[in-house]
Each structure stands twice: as structure tokens, then as C-alpha cells.
A and B are shown apart, each in its own frame.
Chain A
Amino acid sequence: MKISLAWLREYVDVESPLPEFLDRLTMIGLVVEEWKEINGDIILDVETYANRPDTLGHLGMAREVAAMLRSSLKEQTWPLTELPAKTSAFVDVQILDEDLCPRYCGIVVTGVKTGPSPDWLRAKIEAMGLRPINNVVDVTNYVLFATGQPIHAFDLAKIAGPRLAIRRAKKGEAIRTLEGKTVALSTDMLVIADEKRPVAIAGVIGGEESAVTDATQDVFIESATFDPVSVRKTRKALEIQTDACYRFERGADIAFAPQAAIMAASLLTQFGGKAAKEPVDIYPKPRKLKEIVLRGRRISDLLGVDIDDEFVEMTLGDLGFGLTANQHSIWRVQVPSFRVDIEREADLIEEIARFYGYDKIPVVVPPLEVLEAVPSDREKIQKLSQALFHHGFDEVINQSFADPEKEAVFRSGKAPVEIRNPISTKASLLRTTLLGGLLENTAWNRNRGTEGVHIFEIGNIYFRNEDATAEKLHLGLSTTGPLGTPHWKGRPGEANFFHLKGAVEACLESLRYAPFSFKEDGHPFFEEDYSLAVLYKGEKIGRMGQVHSRLLDLYSLGGPVYAAELDLDLLFGKQPRPFEYVPPPKFPSVVRDLSFLVDRDVPFQEIKQALDKMVVPYLEEFSIIDHYAGGRIPRDKKSLSLRFTFRNPKATLLAKDVDKAEQKIIKNLKSAFKIQLREGGESP
């Protein structure tokens, strides 16, 4: 809200220097965001709040300032030159919907010499950032910015009277507005209508046909109160924003309506106008002032400081509240009609706190009591992140939106959630996978000269689940390009399928979600032969693979890129293996390497599972230390070398026991996989 300091001074004396004045305003909650000097006046841009329509005019601001400075408002008088006739002789106002229009006032002013406004009025209109139009229109704007009460001037000659009805629009009615736009009205919209047609949309905007022009002589000034919700719905439906509806939808001061009409009429008499003897004022159900009980005890309970009764009474009194002391430190407080925001005791306590000063409220650090532990998911995410940092993955965070065209190419298998009013058509869905963002980031970085892009994101994906929506916390990983920068000791390796797989394994191991397994999957995200499902306790918790060229093309990315996506909500819902301590072994181990040929199409995982199941005495662990095909190896075979570690936890292991165990392994592998031992592959 723009406030002219000169205009404000018409209501209240402000003598303190500007910086001090602005600081004090800030501390009662009126923040001046900007100020500038224009023609010797200072224009403040004050931040206002949705619940304080009373501050949307100079009078309301002056009330706050007067209370702040402990001074009082200056009286203003609005003399009229009167006609013998009453307003009701010109117009017959009828409210047909009392809910949407609880009060309607108006006054007729005849013989106005319409023309350019005098300098003092022009200056005020310009100070508010508006262009002066003519003295009648400028007077209506003046009243609005002076008092916060929107008023409207009709050209009396253009109203097909005498009946002026405040009613809902009829089906099929339309109006051409002051903005020159014809809008269709619906039956829930309130209009001001003459005998023939709507002449204004109540509280929103006037009609062009009944508008004041330079030829206008007789005007009818409207000053009314309209239902805030109705005004808001109407202006939203019609996409019209005016200074009037901005105030009506926040709530106008119902008691002030007649005064605003008189004020406008008085100003018009300066331009030769003569006001009707009496305004019309239709107020079918006069409202009583709200009353609230205020307890001194509650003030200190809420603020943590004792405030004198005297201060409470003075502050509320200065702000226009009426106080009756009920008992000691308990009051019945009457709320002035312009304070539509004050409804409860807490609202009054805020008023007292504002003027007492938030800075004077003590600073009390409460006892550091722990009520409940931090949930374990946070720790899991931290551990997971540490494992990934360790593997050289950087963390990214992407916007949750997705482009429907790209989403369609992904074929995530999840029905996306659509945003009804998106920022752009390219961000009209919520993502169903983290992969899109990761590929986008990869392309962005590649285009800026970063070749190695190894990234992860932890965030939600969203989808439709029948009629409901669902969101799940996912982990996305992607890796491509060199694993580090060139170094004099050697060139870095390139990201590959097993680099990614190692990172996935590290994630699961770091959280003790083991044993886990992988299964060939064939998901549309990945190339056919490079697609694995990740399983824990037999349930699929994610997938990984080499990203399909169809998706790389979508981001103009050269391959290969490897990616994985895990459902963390699903994973965290499962029980990890408990942590167990094992003492370091006392007796030495014996290591035996076994090299053999096996059919090329036997996956290592099958051999591993067979060995896992096998009961082999003293076998502590085994690992694959070499894998080779081609060269001198027959085409349908591959060569594997496994390293077995044997240990007797209770005694030093004897060679013959190891030999026995090794023979058992060989025998079982031979029968299960027809392995052929390689020369020198068998330990002596």
C-alpha cells in the first residue's frame, strides 16, 4: 500500500525523523519496503497483510501511527451544499440479497462541472501511482485511498431508474465493464441493476454504459458493503483485479459506508455539485460490535511477560477499542467495526504485544528436554549417502516436475499425476522416476565440459494409484565417463556396469540389507542384456542397468550411461540384518585357488548360489578373482578362478582336511556345472 507522508499528516502529526519513524513502524508490524521522494512528498510503500484491510487507506494507517506515537487523530469535516430533495427521490435502492450486500448507501449529487481535477487532487492521485481522469473519478479514488472504503460513481442520467436493485445476475446477462471488456455473468454473481440491465458488478467493477464521462452532470455515489467471499469468487471467475475488489474481499468497514458517501459528495460540491438532502442507507440487519473477554493472566501466559493493566487499557483505547473492566485484570473489549481481523482473545494479545514491543519480551531458552528419538530413516539416508560419496557419486536434487513428452518415452509403468495449473506445459506432470532428472543433469554437465558424471538423488516419485495419488522415496544413481581426472600415475578408469553394481551393493551392505540378489529383468529403461532387478528377501526393491539408447537420444547423450533406481520406502520398511560382532580368528587360514572352465552361458550367480548352499567344512568365504573368455579358451567356455579361504576356528587347520574340503567342492561343481579343472588350477 502506497502511503503519502503529506496525506498521512492530514490525519496525524508526524514529527520524528524519517529513519526513526520507519524503524518504529517496522516494530509495530508495518514494514516500509521502499520509499521515495516525489515533489517534496515522501511516498512509502508499506507491506500490508491479508487480514488488515483497515490499513489499506491513509485513515487506517493514521490510526496505527497515532497509537504508536500516543497522539490522536485530527478531526475532518465534510460540509455539503444541499438540495431540498432526498436521494430517495432520484433512486429507489432495493437490496434483493442481504447476504451478499449487507449495507448499501448512496447519495445523488447534481450539477457537477465535470472536468480536470485541481492540482491538490491530481497530486494525491498521482502519488498513489494512478493517472488522473476527471474530477468525479478522481474523487472516488481519493476516497478509496483516504479511507479504504471503495466507492463508485454512476452517471445518473444513464441509469434507467428509478429502481436500482442489488441482486444476483440473471441467466444470460452480460455487462461491458469500465475496462471495455464484455463479460458474461453467472447467477452467483452480485450486480447493481437498473430497470433494464446490470450497471455494475458489485464490489468488482462498474459498467461502461453508466460510467461518468466528461459530459456527466448528475452522479449517484455508491458506498456499500459486499460479502468478501462473493466478491472474491466473482473477480476470480472474471479474472478482474481492481483496487475496490482488493479491499472488499478483505472486508470493508461496514459502519463507515455512509461517511464515505458524504465525503465524496462534499468534495463534489467543490466542483459546483449540490448533494441531495439525505443519502439512502439500506442496512437491513445492523451489526453489533463484537465483544471479547480479555484476561490479564492470558496475556502473561502467552507472552511470557507481565504487562501492566494500565498499558493494556491505554493501548487498546488508543487503537479504538472500547474497554469495560469486568473484574481486576479482566475486561470486556468492544472491537471497532474497522478491525475485521480481531475475533478472539489471542488477537487482542497480539495488539498488546505489538505496541509493547517484541524486543521487550524476554528471551528464555526452554529446558533441553528430549521427547522422542529422531526416526531411523534419517540415519539410513545418511549412511547410504556416505557409501555413495565414498564411491565418488555427487548428490543432486531435481525439481519434481516432468515433461509429458519425455515421460511417455520413459515408460515407467506408473500413471503420472497431472498438475491442473502447471507453470509450463513442459512441467505439467510429477515425475514417476528419478532417471529423467539424472539424465538431464548428465547432459547439462557434459555440455559444460564435465566428462565424468557420477550422481545420485534421493527424493520422491509420484503416481496415480486408482483414484488416489501416491508418493515414494526413491534413490536414483547414474554414472558415465571417466572415474576421476587424468593423473601422472595413470589414466582413470571409465564408469561401467560393475562400477554401478558395486555402488548399489555398497548401499545395501552399508545398511545391512544383506544378503540381496540380482535377477535379469528386461525393463524398458535399460538395454535388453544389461538390465537387472535388485531383490531383498525375495522382493524387488529396485532395478539397474545400462540406460536404453532411446532414452539417451531424448537428452542427446552419447553412451554408455549406467543407472539404478531403488524404492527406499519399500527397503526401509524391511528389517535389516542385526549387527553382530565376531572376534578376530585365533588360528591361521588356508587359501586355495581353483581355476576351471565352465559353459559360457552359466551365470556366475548360479555357481555362487550353489556354493552358498553347499555344506563345506571349514570353508570361511570364497570370491571370484579371475574371469576370462576368448583367446585359447574354447568358444563355448569361459575360465573362472575362485579363491577359497578355509579356517578351523578352534585349531590350526591340517592340509588333509583342506584337501578333503576342496575335493568336495570340485566334485559338487563338476556334477552341477560340468566344470573342467585347468592345468595348475588345482592346488597341490
Chain B
Amino acid sequence: MLSPNIRKFKTTIDVYRTKLEEQSAQIQDLRALEELHHQFLSRKRGTITLLFEQLKEFDPEEKPAAGQLLNALKNEVQERFSALETKLKTPAKPKGEIDISLPGEKLYWGAPHPVRLFQQEIENIFVSMGFSIEGGPEIETDYYNFEALNFPPHHPARDDWDTLYITDKLLLRTHTSPVQIRVMEKKKPPIKIIIPGKVFRRETPDPTHLPMFFQIEGLVVDKGITFAHLKGTLEYFLKRLFGERIKIRFRPSFFPFTEPSAEVDIECLACGAKNPDCRICGGTGWKEILGSGMVDPQVFKNVNIDPETYSGWAFGMGIDRTAMFAFGISDMRYFFENDLRFIRQFTLK
């Protein structure tokens, strides 16, 4: 038989147990749970804490029984709270109205033009080598476009640069090389620049020719610059652009503004030099990628730089033409049709 004191204490405990059950059934969120936790287990004013205070008043022989009852309640409280916490922290399962397999919402992000993108890739490589960037006018004089670059008037070499003229003396620049002259007139060596820009030729549009396209030019002038530097810099550049293992070949060529001149070929990416009928390299395994050479002494004289003291090298490369090769684009006209189905692909590049 329980003593009256114990029976009374048990009733009190049962009341709190019912309270716990009722109140915990209403708990919907962690905040409410925290409040209930506080109500029962607060160190100062919590229900359980206060009940433990009451234990002191029991006779020593009754204490164990009362303590047993109270500890049972405490454990129940703790277990229930812990179970509730776990339940509340687990997210509700979708109830059918939300199909989480549906696609997400995306912000539309505009795409850069592939020529601009490729131009920046090239620029970044040269900028990382300490080159600066220069520009110049697209409407040029005959002097800067030809004469100062060692194309005498009426020289047949001009035929290789079919020109759109504004007047006898004004034309649309056929290459970015006139900027070499403009820079060397302004600045004294050392010079280390690249010149990207639009150029124009009198060409009827077809898959590999357009009357307007993009070129990038490079110029280095200093004391002690040699052909070996030209090779070193361009090889480094081409390996950064096309990969470390690309094969590169320098071969003699002719440009009026460089002497010696070199054409640079890289191995054909389309066929890997394996297809004798390759349309990109014509079965040679090599693709012409840029023109270069040591700055011609006459060009130096034209800008009052002493070719006995200074030497330099220059290169020129078609940006769109090289992008065609790098991306495997078969028709140059795609670049300027501006079909968004073409351009938007380059957000992925």
C-alpha cells in the first residue's frame, strides 16, 4: 500500500503527465517546443525542478518511492521532447501537390560573341606575359597602312592586301599593322604591345572570306631582341591557346614589313595530320595560323628608331579565322549573321 503522501504525490505527477501529453500534442514548431521545454525543465522554475524541491519534504523512508515516480516523469519528459525535436527537424514530405522532379528556375544570362570571347582569351595570354594593349583608327591613311610598312606605292605586294578605298589617300585598314607605326612614332623602345581590331579587305563573302574580320597584332621592340625570342614567345602563346602538346612549325615567308619573315603553322586539329583528304589542312597535316618576322630595318627608319641599336619582332593573326579552326566552325559568315542559336552556345565556352 502506498502511503497517503505518496498517493498524493503520484496524483500531482499524473496531472503533470496529462499536461505534458496535452501540450506536447499541440507543438507545431521548434519554438513552441523550446517554450514547453523551458516550462518543464527550466533550472529555476521548471515543473520538474520544482517537484524535485518537494522531494525534500518527504520522510526518509518515503523518499525513494517518490523519487522513483518523479524520475520516471522526468525521463518521459525528456524522451518525448527528444522525439518531438527529431520529428520537427525532419522536413515534411511533399504531399503530392509539389512534384520536386520539375525543372528549377533559371536566370537568363546573355552570351558573349565568340569572336570577342576568343579575342579575350588571346589577350589574356599576352597580358600575362606583360604585354599592353593598343588600338588605332579603322579608317587609315595609305601612308600608315602601306608606305610606312615598306610597301612602296605601286608595289605588287599590295595586291595581296585587296583594299577598300575612301579616297586616294584614305582607306579602310587592311591589317592592324598600321598601329605598329602609330605606336612607334609616339613611344620609344622598349615596346611590348598587342593590337586587336577590325580590318577590311575587298573580298566577296564566302565561307572563308569576308570584307570585314578581326586581327590581332603583336610588336616587341628593344635592344637585343632576336628571332629566337619570336619563336619562344609565339610557341608559348600557341601552346597556351591550343594545348601543351600542339606541334608548331616556323617556315620562311614574305611580308614587306618584316625581314626575315616567318609563317607559323600548327598541326591540324581537325584530322591530327592523319587524313590525306582533310578539308581543313588539305592533307598536309599543317594549318597556317599566323604571320610573323623580325621588324624590317626600313620600318624602323620610317619611325626614327635606329635599327643598329634596336631590333624587334611582330606577328599578325586572324582572330575569327583562328576561332573557326579552334571551335571547328566551317563557315566564317556565321560570326556576323548573329544568329542567336549560334551565339548563345558560347555561354558554355
Contact = CB atoms under 8 A, between A and B. Distances in A.
A494 B169 CA distance: 49
A317 B344 CA distance: 59
Contacts of A455: 338, 340
Given A394-B343, A421-B202, A488-B102, A400 B212 contact: yes
A474 interface: no
A488 B156 CA distance: 65
Contacts, number: 238
Interface stretch (A344-352, A601-609, A611-619, A642-650): A344-352
A359 B260 contact: no
B139 A471 contact: yes
A347 B112 CA distance: 44
A675 to B, nearest CB: 37
Nearest to B261: A350
Contacts of A462: 138-139
A655 interface: no
A304 B343 contact: no
Contacts of A679: none
Nearest to B288: A31
A371 B137 contact: no
B203 interface: yes
B130 A390 contact: no
A397 B113 contact: yes
Contact of B336 (A365, A392, A398): A398
Given A303-B226, A374-B127, A232 B154 contact: yes
B176 to A, nearest CB: 14
A392 B156 CA distance: 49
Interface string B297-314: 110000000010001000
B170 interface: yes
Given A303-B228, A359-B249, A441-B338, A389 B260 contact: no
A399 B154 contact: no
B228 A363 contact: yes
Given A51-B256, A444-B338, A469-B139, A365 B226 contact: no
A358 B282 contact: no
Interface in A390-447: 390-401, 417-423, 427, 430, 437, 441, 444-445
Contacts of B93: none
B228 A396 contact: no
Interface residues of B, number: 89
Interface string B24-43: 00000000000000000000
Contacts of A28: 252
A454 B110 contact: yes
B227 interface: yes
Interface residues of A, number: 92
A372 interface: yes
A458 to B, nearest CB: 8
A365 B233 contact: yes
A365 B236 contact: yes
B45 interface: no
Contacts of A396: 113, 338, 343
A489 interface: yes
Contacts of A29: 251-254
Interface stretch (B1-9, B46-54, B66-74, B160-168): B160-168
A52 interface: yes
Contacts of A437: 338
A358 B252 CA distance: 7
A389 B110 contact: yes
A400 B336 contact: no
B252 A353 contact: yes
B232 A364 contact: yes
Interface string B146-157: 000000011111
Interface in A483-501: 483-484, 487-489
Q: Which of B138, B156, B202, B262 has the most CB of A within 10 A?
A: B156
A479 to B, nearest CB: 11
A293 to B, nearest CB: 12
B204 A366 contact: no
A347 B256 CA distance: 11
A540 interface: no
Interface string B81-119: 000000000000000000000110101111111011000
Interface stretch (B12-20, B190-198, B266-274): B190-198
A361 B227 contact: yes
A419 B166 contact: yes
B110 A392 contact: yes
B229 A366 contact: yes
B294 interface: yes
B296 interface: yes
A75 interface: no
A129 interface: no
A249 B156 contact: yes
Contacts of A373: 132
Contacts of A347: 259
A517 B205 CA distance: 43
A529 interface: no
Contact of A469 (B107, B159, B170, B296): B170
A333 to B, nearest CB: 15
A680 interface: no
Q: Which of A249, A347, A369, A371 has the most CB of B within 10 A?
A: A371
28 contacts: A52-B254, A228-B154, A228-B156, A250-B156, A302-B294, A304-B227, A350-B261, A365-B236, A366-B229, A369-B130, A371-B191, A371-B192, A378-B123, A389-B111, A389-B112, A394-B113, A395-B113, A396-B343, A397-B116, A399-B336, A400-B138, A400-B172, A420-B164, A422-B164, A430-B172, A455-B340, A469-B139, A487-B103
Q: Nearest 4 A-B pairs (CB), nearest first? A: A304-B226, A304-B228, A29-B252, A350-B260
